[in-house]
A = this chain, B = another copy of it.
Amino acid sequence: MNINDVLALVKNERDAVEKELIANLDSDVKMVNEVASYVFESGGKRLRPVFLILSALMSGYSGPRSAALSGVVEYIHTATLLHDDVIDGALYRRGKESANRVFGNDITVLCGDFLYSRAFMNLVKDGDSRIQMLLAVAARTMSEGEVFQLIKTADVKISFDDYIRIIISKTAVMFSACCEIGAILGGQPAEKQTAMKNFGTTLGIAFQMADDILDYLGDPEKTGKKPGTDLNEGKITLPVIKLMEAATPQENKRIRDIIVDEKATDENLNYILGLMNRYDVKKRSEAVVDEYISEAKKNLEMFEPSQYRDALDFLADYMVAREK
């Protein structure tokens, strides 16, 4: 099985999601539709919808609600991206100029709000109070997680548990909701719903960790980004945590100084990248990702073998192995 096989398996549903994303941009205020279209037409991998749809198919559901709910998930996800880009003053998103840069911070914040409320309108229309609550809680948790991350900026005493808490909130909660929704749509019993919830959580953690590794240790030619953006923003992520575990007290003192003073000069960054290389931080970090991925995949064993189960199993590896 390769990625094209997986995508072929959900082709109809993915097409339906794209239609859903555009169909609801029905604002009387044309600018709102323009901003939202700008964001959706720049693509994005629609990973969350693919997990929701495959979880639903594996659970025995193949109706229209998985595309409708995927649209809701993608609206909420996009609203958080728009607000995050305003907060971070981001210049690019998905290889295009960011919406805040093209349309301004004010309109971008408001279009995020539009997408939130449009998402909830569609959730009300879908009518399942359990799913409504799942996604409202996910949205709440994501905003809390971003606040927690801001508070922990440049906090060198951040624990591994704090880091996990941040990435569960900002990323894993939504993957978890998607996979659980799939099991709910398929009418699976409680223990299988929980298995899919756990699948999504551990998978989401691994996904964010892989992203955080790439930020320092990815190939700039493939990521299209200068390494160490997170260091620049004072975000302490897995590679730094793993580095500090391995480095000498003296080295740690300098690492802490660099982070606390937020002096992400080229010299400082090169020092940290040099240490990461010396201590093989990439390997150490990837070992943690691998643990989470194999933990995630265990949850699939509760389900009967099927091409959908195989696809989820494949995707779990693919989403962290893939070079961006």
Contacts and interface: CB of A to CB of B under 8 A. Distances in A.
A317 B86 CA distance: 41
Contacts of A174: none
A117 interface: yes
Contacts of A116: 113, 116-117, 139
Contacts of A145: 29
Interface stretch (A9-17, A102-110, A189-197, A281-289): A102-110
B107 A150 contact: yes
A145 to B, nearest CB: 8
A188 interface: no
A140 interface: yes
Contact of A120 (B29, B125, B139): B139
Interface of A is mostly: helix
Number of copies: 2
Interface in A97-156: 105-107, 109-114, 116-118, 120-121, 123-125, 127, 129, 132-133, 136-137, 139-140, 142-148, 150-151
Contact of A124 (B79, B106, B132): B132
B107 A27 contact: no
Given A27-B144, A32-B144, A83 B109 contact: yes
26 contacts: A27-B144, A28-B144, A29-B145, A29-B147, A29-B151, A31-B151, A79-B113, A83-B109, A83-B113, A110-B143, A110-B146, A110-B147, A110-B150, A113-B116, A116-B117, A116-B139, A117-B136, A117-B137, A117-B140, A118-B140, A120-B132, A120-B136, A121-B133, A121-B140, A124-B132, A127-B129
